[in-house]
Structure 1
Amino acid sequence: MSLHLKAGSVTFENVTKKYGAVTAIDDVSFSIAPGHLVTLLGPSGCGKTTTLRMIAGLEHASSGRILIGGKDVTNLPATDRDVSMVFQSYALFPHMTVGENVAYGLTVGGLKKAEAAERAEEGLALVGLAGYASRLPSELSGGQQQRVAVARALVLEPEVLLLDEPLSNLDAKLRRKVREEIRDLQQKLGLTAVYVTHDQEEALAVSDRIIVMNRSIIAQEGTPRELYEAPSSAFIADFIGDANLITGEVISANHEKAKVRIDSIEYELPSRGLRIGSAQIAVRPDSILLEPAQGSSGPGSSVSGSSESGSAGAKDQIGIRGNVTHSTYLGNQMHYSVDSPLGELFVVDYRIDNAIKAGSDISITFATKGMALIAP
């Protein structure tokens, strides 16, 4: 015997969910292709967990349609949907063995105990816990308990696997390990998975696509790279990785490229439909290049500085004068807070052997790789 796992699609068509006068989900539409892992990401209260619970059938839409594997399940109860959920709390029965926990859904569904036990062993083998069936959950680490919860979901052979903040109870180092295991398993089995988290790094690491939610709607969806490198708004730029939001000016533009002036420096960036005039620019912390200032120009003046190869696109090798207000050593990187004519900047620098002390005057340039124009 072997598990028969099949991947189904998930579709939301203009789905709204209201609790009285409160709108938790507002006219949301999206599609998830079979075999893809899609993450619902956003701050607390954005609607991501409500969306997951509606896929599971634990909440029902006020309007719109929900389809799983092409089948309309909008009004079906959770028991009639071909999905399984991995909960944040694991929800393992402490008095049952690991094998009994994994087999629980099968036995409740009427499968004979011997067959359920065999399926449970297969599920445990899939998650790297072969031979653990006789142990109690209390004898396992947090990461192992999470894998038991995944195995319990997989043995039900769902079309869609749902994961609700599955790593939130693990420490940082273990989170990295377990998220890699979940991603590897999803890809190996070709599962369709919907993954909820508020952790941006986690979403970037595991997802084929990310749906970012904010205030009950979809703020942006795309691949991890698209969201990080081409955020559609200031909210996305700041939420998907840190971003410094600064003001510049588009001085010329066509349908592909724009020439942008920041203080006295000119850069060429993808135009993203922006026209000539004032513009907001998202700059990643590791795309801000700091060098010791030369000369004695006053604050706001342009001074000479080395911009390195990463700042290709600047008109001249010129920097903006600034001052380091805080300097923090974090092992493999330095974090700086910088006072500048553009406002306060957060900077990440991997040159730890040449750290800049707080109070130092510096020259600021930018690497265009980490800059993006933001639509107004």
Structure 2
Amino acid sequence: MITQKAGSVVFENVRKTFGSFTAIPDLSLAIEPGTLVTLLGPSGCGKTTTLRMLAGLEHPTEGKILIGGKDVTMLPANERDVSMVFQSYALFPHMSSLDNVAYGLESSGLSRKEARERAEEGLVLVGLAGMGKRLPAELSGGQQQRVAVARALVLEPQVLLLDEPLSNLDARLRRRVRTEIRELQQRLGFTAVYVTHDQDEALAVSDRIIVMKDGQIAQSGVPRELYETPASSFIADFMGEANVVPCEVVGVADGEAQIRIGGLLHRVPAGKAKPGAARLAVRPGAISLAEGKGQGLDGRILHSAYLGSHVEYEVETEVGTLFIVDHIVDRILPAASEASLGFRSRGIALINN
């Protein structure tokens, strides 16, 4: 019977350099057992280097890495009690699905009979019962991905590492497989560290998201926190598109800030806001649009595009050009027409920098 022993992960002041280049200047983080944590960020932010150090494929220049409370900083990959699902799946093309899943078990010393029994259990776990005889070329991309996950899980690691696991799948299949991975993680309760550059993917699967920039943590939190209360303009724009506009905090009381955007007054959660000049992150769907001037923040339509379920607008205002997603599709305001903008209660946040 395959069991999972969820382990914690701790990085203590980890630094990683490659020659004169510093990829990770000083990284400290902690991951609780049984959680799925995503390292998210643009290319070159350090997320893959962090994952490779956790896997033992790279070693820190300074600092300490612990898995399940054990110092593994300088241990080789095969002594770390982790398994990795690679971006390319790394399946042996000449071996059946069953043999691919059993390979690591046989290499670790299990008898062929026991390894194949465990491999069969692994295929059942990921919903591929009866497909053990198929070669990778006879499987869909999503099925190949599940074989790779099964191969990792049968080793019963403390931590499962997933490096851009859905990047080779089309959009519809990505949605389905990410749901399967999340449901499997929640059902079995293993610890997972998941690397991606895809914000939607991170929001869909994570207990917690760590957004990285220049080898450092830009912000860490649950998905809703990062999306609705970004700590900076970088986070606001990276975690889904946002309009970043100047505003004035008129006053703060009872946890709310009254702000002025152009000639419009609005209330938002105060956070650490103080009276004075500030900046506001506004999601495209948080702006309402009405025909004519004088009902809110005045604007002029620069461009409109019908996309079936919604209309996208670019609107020129006194605080800058705003991108708006409007789900009212039975009327479309044409370019050069006048409009009034209002702000909804959600999808708006004051940002610190």
- The two structures have a TM-score, normalised by structure 2, of 0.98
Query: CA shift at 1:255, angstroms?
Result: 7.0
Answering whether residue 174 of structure 2 is matched by residue 175 of structure 1, we say yes
Report the equivalent of 2:335. 358
Query: CA shift at 1:358, angstroms?
Result: 2.5
Report the equivalent of 2:299. 322
Cα distance between partner residues in 1 of 2:112 and 2:245: 63
- After superposing on structure 2, the runs of 4+ consecutive aligned residues of structure 1 that deviate more than 6 Å are none
Taking the TM superposition and a 5 Å limit, the aligned residue runs for 1:252-331 are 252-254=251-253, 256-294=255-293, 303-304=294-295, 319-331=296-308
Alpha-carbon contact 1:272-1:375 (below 8 Å) kept: no
Answering whether residue 341 of structure 2 is matched by residue 342 of structure 1, we say no
Cα distance between partner residues in 2 of 1:248 and 1:368: 16
Query: CA shift at 1:368, angstroms?
Result: 2.6
Alpha-carbon contact 1:327-1:358 (below 8 Å) kept: yes
Taking the TM superposition and a 5 Å limit, the aligned residue runs for 1:38-77 are 38-77=37-76
Report the equivalent of 1:235. 234
- State the AA in 1 paired with 2:221: G
Cα distance between partner residues in 1 of 2:148 and 2:333: 47
Cα distance between partner residues in 2 of 1:201 and 1:358: 31
Taking the TM superposition and a 5 Å limit, the aligned residue runs for 1:66-215 are 66-215=65-214
Deviations 1:13-43 (A, max 9, x none): 1111111111111211111101000000000
Cα distance between partner residues in 2 of 1:112 and 1:356: 70
Give the unaligned 5+ runs of structure 1. Answer: 295-302, 305-318
Cα distance between partner residues in 2 of 1:336 and 1:230: 24
Once the two structures are overlaid, the 10-residue window that deviates more, 256-265 or 224-233, is: 256-265
Report the secondary structure of 2:330's partner residue: helix
Taking the TM superposition and a 5 Å limit, the aligned residue runs for 1:217-232 are 217-232=216-231
- State the AA in 1 paired with 2:347: G
Deviations 1:292-324 (A, max 9, x none): 014xxxxxxxx13xxxxxxxxxxxxxx122122
- State the AA in 2 paired with 1:349: D
Paired-residue identity, %? 63
- State the AA in 2 paired with 1:85: M
Alpha-carbon contact 1:13-1:64 (below 8 Å) kept: yes
Query: CA shift at 1:360, angstroms?
Result: 2.0
- State the AA in 1 paired with 2:282: V
Cα distance between partner residues in 2 of 1:227 and 1:255: 23
Answering whether residue 15 of structure 2 is matched by residue 12 of structure 1, we say no
Cα distance between partner residues in 1 of 2:203 and 2:267: 27
How many residue pairs align between the two structures?
353
- State the AA in 1 paired with 2:220: E
Cα distance between partner residues in 2 of 1:365 and 1:109: 63
- The two structures have a TM-score, normalised by structure 1, of 0.92
Cα distance between partner residues in 1 of 2:64 and 2:200: 31
Cα distance between partner residues in 2 of 1:127 and 1:114: 21
Query: CA shift at 1:359, angstroms?
Result: 2.6
Query: CA shift at 1:357, angstroms?
Result: 2.1
Deviations 1:109-144 (A, max 9, x none): 121111111111000000000011101000000000
Once the two structures are overlaid, the 10-residue window that deviates more, 244-253 or 325-334, is: 325-334
One of 288, 310, 318 as aligned partner of 1:333? 310
Report the equivalent of 2:36. 37
Cα distance between partner residues in 2 of 1:345 and 1:353: 21
Deviations 1:141-190 (A, max 9, x none): 00000000000000111000000000000000000000000000000000
Once the two structures are overlaid, the 10-residue window that deviates more, 196-205 or 363-372, is: 363-372
Cα distance between partner residues in 2 of 1:346 and 1:373: 18
Alpha-carbon contact 1:255-1:273 (below 8 Å) kept: no
Cα distance between partner residues in 1 of 2:334 and 2:153: 53
Deviations 1:218-240 (A, max 9, x none): 00000001101111111001100
Once the two structures are overlaid, the 10-residue window that deviates more, 157-166 or 19-28, is: 19-28
Report the secondary structure of 2:251's partner residue: strand
Give the unaligned 5+ runs of structure 2. Answer: none
Report the equivalent of 1:316. none
